[in-house]
Chain A
């Protein structure tokens, strides 16, 4: 083993960059330990204690950066240092924002790209409305990624867009697929005959993935922001989106997705859908009542139900994700027969807000006293939380990108003797973590070890949302997660039902290899 130090005089990098450099160095071949740390006396003592201080590092001053690592076997110092230099240079370029031309105003952007017809805006909420209005004034459709935009601004912007015949997607819209181009968090799905308008990002991703897996492609998938069906906004953009899909010759079936809407918005949307002349599958999640069809309107309560209804209308066979295969079934039976049958509360740790909401109402519908908070859960009760909520994302990236918060919560819940089932979602696609399994697998294994060491068995149920063409490789992700002993299914509703069955030690309500329909 060789210890190497490299001292970079008067070099300042921010804390995040230094942390990232340390982690990336530790991932290099032949590097056992590595760190990048300022050369203070206390830090040099720290390096010495870790066996990472070489003679050259001892000469560093508090304003110098020490890059320290050890190698097994020795002899590859130059390769590692070249890699470190490359990363430091990349960090500097990232800091400078690159050298490509970047227009400094909306007008400048239009001049440099006259064919542009959509502006994607991601600025702090207080400035977002002004920028969106500017874009609409220039005749551009808008995808507004920003959140914290005042409701009255949203109403005004959507009114203006509707008057101009433009789409105003958002605010807080993170997902769309337009003419096959994914925007924000979206999956790689083929073009096809199903068009969607959704007030939910993860709901949109889930349904497009379920359809893609069954062989059905997407014409357009339009996000409209979570407040579009509130009483104030009154479905303004869901109606515009519906109208656009109605006029679109490539779209044969329209899917509309939202959490329960305000009554007035619901009435407007249902009225417009009934006049659209196309089959409309409407999933107002968790709405009281039963799935129903009348004329061209088909009401569903779950995302899975909406996807199944579309496939039925298109004359498709029952898709694979609607079944529990033999191996998964055996795994569920084994988990159900585990010794801790009296203590099997469910903890749902979600990154997708709508998937979380869907699981919550499915569990409640099955008679679980499920809460939506981790704190103060009564003994014997269940909880399903949205870790993408502001409470859990402050100071960190969204849990679809950064799994640390969920992994930490998973380990913590594994130590709770009342917890028997952990329910998770993993969302693949553009914008998401490049390899979720690499983060989750160690945590899943550790969580199960913790439970086992206290004489329990922890069941982990994963709802995996992704398409075959996503950059993360759906198959590899599924295999890696399944290899941990987790139950992995693609339907979020099915995952919630499986969690319920294991929690109760009774799988009789599950399809057991038959169709769910």
Chain B
């Protein structure tokens, strides 16, 4: 054997540059000209969360984790962890000479960063086509659905939007608790009943395992879907739902989750959520449902799945509310039901 094939040694490499690649649109408006901006309160492998002087939460993350409204995306090399470059709880982030400085020596360059905002769905396909795409998605993910979290509800979202309770005996404890509350939430939204909505939301916010509990991820997905469907005839109900979630989230869940839900209530989710919604709803989008779905369900342990389940219920509910409103209008215009 040639000398080159002697005992192998493994080499790993990493980059030393930390350019910011993207920043959420509303977050960019908060960038200070100079001085302290926020303080780190939670550090994970590839992201950390900060709180600004007004108590608002935002995230600094490896750009590979995806864009979002509250995210500063940074280009790290593959093996870089935030702790390994010196990020720790209590570090201050501030603007220094046009770049962001974390702690005493970690510089994040702002030149070249782009501002991220979700691309809106301008024109939707027909309700029939939306249902077809949703069914395609459900068929795709059915064999992959994890037993934990709320992903297990995905095949039942259409029935839940109609107020039908699926069999819950074989579901996990979180799903068993959530399903009746979701059924109640669906009924409250279609019946424009604030009390029902409030009680259901109260039972879902902060429910379940994870940094962003499953109930929150579900509600986040649902809000973004409901706010994304344009021309929806149910905007008052959606607004009432959004206000209710924001109010409960401020008190009843983690501050990271609360910040996420606050943005979702305004119809702004992660890039992965918006990409999937464009694929499911958009007339002018090539419906690459598979890759969009896979991108979303990669998030967290069950967070992506929980969000997906919420998105699907949101879509079904929006279609149902629109249909109900059309029928009501038709009945008002033609009360005797006489064919034209």
Contacts and interface: CB of A to CB of B under 8 A. Distances in A.
Interface of A: 10, 12-16, 18-19, 22, 35-38, 40-43, 46, 50, 62-63, 94-97, 102-106, 109-110, 113, 115-124, 127, 131, 134-135, 140-141, 143, 165-167, 178-179, 181, 183, 219-220, 244, 247-251, 374-375, 391-392, 394-396, 404-405, 408-409, 412
A18 B11 contact: no
Nearest to B215: A42
20 contacts: A12-B44, A12-B211, A14-B300, A38-B206, A38-B211, A42-B207, A42-B213, A96-B84, A102-B14, A105-B14, A117-B5, A120-B12, A121-B13, A178-B5, A248-B1, A374-B143, A392-B144, A394-B298, A395-B294, A405-B143
Nearest to A92: B83
Nearest to A114: B9
B105 interface: no
A40 B16 contact: no
Contacts of B8: 117-118, 120, 141, 143, 178-179, 181, 183
Interface in B31-73: 41-45, 49, 64
Nearest to B149: A15
Interface in B1-28: 1-16
Interface string B78-116: 110101100000000000000000000000000000000
Contact of B256 (A12, A118, A405): A12
A43 B213 CA distance: 9
A483 B108 CA distance: 58
A235 B238 CA distance: 59
B254 A46 contact: no
Contacts of B49: 12
Contacts of A110: 11
Contact of A16 (B177, B257, B301): B301
B64 A106 contact: no
Given A18-B209, A117-B9, A63 B14 contact: no
A37 B215 CA distance: 13
A120 B205 CA distance: 45
B15 to A, nearest CB: 8
B208 interface: yes
Contact of B207 (A43, A109, A247): A43
Main secondary structure of the interface of A (DSSP, over half): mixed
Contacts of B257: 62
Contacts of B4: 117, 141, 165-167
A179 B5 contact: yes
A109 B79 CA distance: 14
Contact of B9 (A12, A14, A118, A396): A118
B13 A105 contact: yes
A516 B162 CA distance: 60
A234 B229 CA distance: 50
A388 to B, nearest CB: 14
B174 A46 contact: yes
A19 B49 CA distance: 20
Closest 7 CB pairs of A and B: A40-B206, A96-B83, A12-B42, A15-B210, A42-B207, A15-B301, A116-B9
Contact of A97 (B1, B77, B84): B84
B139 interface: yes
A28 B136 CA distance: 42
A441 B84 CA distance: 40
Interface in B162-193: 173-174, 177
B74 interface: no
B118 interface: no
A50 B174 CA distance: 11
Contact of B255 (A63, A395, A405): A63
B11 A103 contact: yes
The size bracket of the interface on B is 35 or more
A409 B143 contact: yes
B81 A43 contact: no
B142 to A, nearest CB: 9
Nearest to A37: B209
B252 A41 contact: yes
A181 B174 contact: no
B45 A95 contact: yes
A165 B11 CA distance: 20
Given A96-B83, A97-B84, A122-B78, 15 more contacts: A12-B211, A14-B45, A14-B301, A15-B210, A19-B148, A37-B208, A95-B43, A97-B45, A102-B84, A103-B13, A109-B13, A117-B6, A124-B78, A140-B11, A404-B146
Given A97-B81, A109-B12, A405-B144, A15 B302 contact: yes
B158 interface: no
Nearest to B8: A118
Nearest to A176: B8
Nearest to B295: A394
A183 B11 CA distance: 13
B103 to A, nearest CB: 15
Interface string B114-130: 00000000000000000
A63 B258 CA distance: 11
A440 to B, nearest CB: 16
A179 B303 CA distance: 44
A334 B197 CA distance: 58
Contact of A375 (B13, B139, B146, B215): B139
Contact of A395 (B9, B83, B209, B297): B297
Contacts of B83: 95-97
B313 interface: no
Nearest to B203: A42
A285 B282 CA distance: 44
Given A124-B64, A165-B4, A10 B207 contact: no
B269 interface: no
Nearest to A135: B11
Nearest to B304: A395
B147 interface: yes
A103 to B, nearest CB: 7
B242 interface: no
Interface in B216-260: 251-257
Given A12-B44, A38-B211, A123 B298 contact: no
A40 B11 contact: no
A434 to B, nearest CB: 20
B206 A244 contact: no
Given A40-B253, A42-B215, A394 B1 contact: no
Contact of B5 (A109, A127, A220, A392): A220
Nearest to B300: A15
A395 B303 CA distance: 11
Question: Most B CB atoms within 10 A — which of A118, A122, A134, A412?
Answer: A118
A143 B8 CA distance: 10
A122 B146 CA distance: 27
Interface in B297-333: 297-298, 300-305
A105 B14 CA distance: 6
Contact of A104 (B16, B147, B252, B256): B16
Contact of B206 (A43, A113, A179): A43
B204 interface: yes
Contacts of A409: 143
